[in-house]
Amino acid sequence: MTHLTEGGLSSVVVGVGSRLPKRIVSNADLQKSLDTSDEWIVQRTGIRQRHVAGEDEPTSKLGLGAAQAALADAGLSPDDVDLVIVATSTPDHTFPSVATQIQAGLGMTHGAGFDLQAVCSGFVFAVATADKFLRSGSHRRALVVGAETFSRLVDWTDRSTCVLFGDGAGAIVLEAQSREQAQGRGVLTTHLRSDGRHREKLYVDGGPSTTRTTGVLRMAGREVFRHAVGMATDVAEDAFAATGTNAEDLDWFVPHQANRRIIEASAEKLGVAPSKVVLTVDLHANTSAASIPLALSVAKADGRIKRGDLVMIEAMGGGFTWGAALIRW
Ligand code: ACO
């Protein structure tokens, strides 16, 4: 747990951006090759379409596009950034990291970059990590990217999982500012959790040190659903408690976009009004670590998220991992 009041610096969001693959696959498109229906998918998940990366759109390319868009939004150049953290479970290669590929794509030969893996909670974990680097004074500005190509991990013949996922990338720029400069803005608190006993409920059945293959995603959907709401709301409540705020103070609730029913049940349990919930699962499906920055990007671009707004991000994913962060935008 971190508090804005503990140090003299805060990590302030100064830019946000995203990049989606060109190709859109609707539920009707999936119906052509799979025993499924638009009605089943929409009713169970809220998903209407997903973007699917082409062969020329690896995770690093999507992440680079999102990073460039976030820098443009901030009015900054790669020279102004000294840390790149990429949350991903679908790197181009086992190594080197996607972060170093994005650094190279930006022409950055200074600073440091690394990947972080916490599956669907990856972006929240990456924000928490960047916040600690920035508030320690070791780095000045961080690009925090969530970038994924889950279409490469799913079994396209398994209708119970493949309809749920999509590809994309989103990014924010966090800047270390003095408290005088920040004036209450910044990452206010972060709360991270994990519990490895839940491995079998959501995992990929391959990897370099076991099968020497990438493997495919396996999920016990009902089991994941059963845990998701409780875990997500627990950390959100922790974030409220740590800052002396509550659901009514919130301007925007931007949860991981896995499933509309999980999101609505979480918002209801927390007492967040439906009008404050940012929903993009209909457009993007579940893009794992990319879903929150993609949703932030949409809500910033359409004018919903404004400077000074109180924004809650929260996620739950494989591991299980789960986490929440409260941000004064
Ligand atoms: N189209 C049509 N029918 C389907 C499909 C499909 N795509 N997929 C499964 N079905 C069928 C099943 O075969 C089953 O048929 P049966 O009753 O004849 O055996 C029936 O639908 C019900 O299947 P369930 O799996 O029990 O359906 P459920 O209502 O639980 O919904 C779902 C499945 C949507 C996966 C749900 O469990 C869920 O949302 N779980 C949360 C998991 C999640 O969102 N994971 C994302 C990754 S984790 C994360 O990001 C947090």
Does a structural domain hold residue 317? yes
Of all protein residues, the one whose alpha carbon is nearest to atom 21 of ligand 1 is 160
Is the distance from the beta carbon of residue 289 to the nearest atom of ligand 1 less than 6 Å?
Answer: no
pLDDT at 308: 98
Q: Looking at the structure, do residues 17 and 75 belong to the same domain, yes or no? A: yes
Q: Are residues 156 and 18 in the same domain?
A: yes
- Examine the domain organization and report whether 153 and 198 are in the same domain: no
141 and 171 in a common domain: yes
Ligand 1, atom nearest to 228 Cα: 51
What are the C-alpha distances in Å from 169 to residues 7, 15, 88, 236, 237? 31, 14, 10, 24, 28
Residue 7: predicted pLDDT:
55
Q: What is the mean pLDDT of residues 115-131?
A: 98
Residues of the chain with pLDDT > 90: what percent? 98
Beta carbon of 228 within 6 Å of any ligand 1 atom? yes
The pLDDT tens digits for 279-329 are 999 999 999 999 999 999 999 999 999 999 999 999 999 999 999 999 999
Same-domain status, 94 and 17? yes
Separation of 180 CA from ligand 1 center, angstroms? 50
Average pLDDT score over the chain: 97
Residues carrying an active site annotation = 120, 256, 286
pLDDT at 112: 98
Q: Does ligand 1 lie within 6 Å of residue 203's CB atom?
A: no
Residues 145, 100 share a domain: yes
User: What pLDDT digit, counting tens, does each position of 25-48 carry?
Assistant: 999 999 999 999 999 999 999 999
CA 199/CA 194 separation, integer angstroms: 11
User: Does residue 294 belong to any structural domain of this protein?
Assistant: no
Predicted TM-score (pTM) above 0.95: yes
Which residues lie across from 50 on neighbouring strands? 25
Domain end among 151, 182, 213: 182
Q: How confident is the model at residue 5 (pLDDT cuts 50, 70, 90)?
A: very low
Q: Do 86 and 126 share a domain, yes or no?
A: yes
Q: Residue 118 domain-assigned?
A: yes
The string of pLDDT tens digits covering residues 69-107 is: 999 999 999 999 999 999 999 999 999 999 999 999 999
Residue with the smallest CA separation from ligand 1 atom 14 is 160
Mean pLDDT for 201-215 is 98
Q: Which is the closest atom of ligand 1 to the Cα of 316? A: 51
Residue recorded with tokens 């799913």: 154
- Of the residues 182, 204, 220, the one at which a domain ends: 182
Determine if ligand 1 sits within 6 Å of the CB of residue 214: no
Neighbours of 6 (CB within 10 A): 9
Residue 292 forms part of a structural domain: no
- How many structural domains does the chain have? 2
Decide whether any atom of ligand 1 lies within 6 Å of the 319 Cβ: no
pLDDT at position 243 is: 98
Q: Are residues 321 and 256 in the same domain?
A: yes
- My answer on whether 106 and 242 are in the same domain is no
Asked if 141 and 272 sit in the same domain, the reply is no
- The per-residue pLDDT for 320 is 97
65: CB partners within 8 A, 6+ apart:
17, 18, 19, 169
Which atom of ligand 1 is the closest one to the Cα of 256?
A: 50
Reported as a single tens digit per residue, the pLDDT across 225-256 is 999 999 999 999 999 999 999 999 999 999 99
Same domain, 255 and 130: no
Q: Long-range pairs for 102-109 at CB < 8 Å and ≥24 separation? A: 102/60, 102/63, 102/64, 102/67, 102/143, 102/145, 105/60, 105/61, 105/64, 105/67, 106/64, 106/67, 106/68, 106/71, 106/78, 106/81, 107/78, 108/78, 108/79, 108/81, 108/84
pLDDT(6) > 60? no
CATH code: domain of residue 306: 3.40.47.10
Domain residue limits at 36: 9-182
Q: 160 and 14, same structural domain?
A: yes
pLDDT > 70 in the chain, percent: 98
- Residue 4: predicted pLDDT: 46
Last residue of a domain, one of 150, 182, 214: 182
Mutate to test the pocket of ligand 1, among 160, 165, 219, 280 (most ligand atoms within 8 A of CB): 160
At 63, list the tokens.
Answer: 């992440």
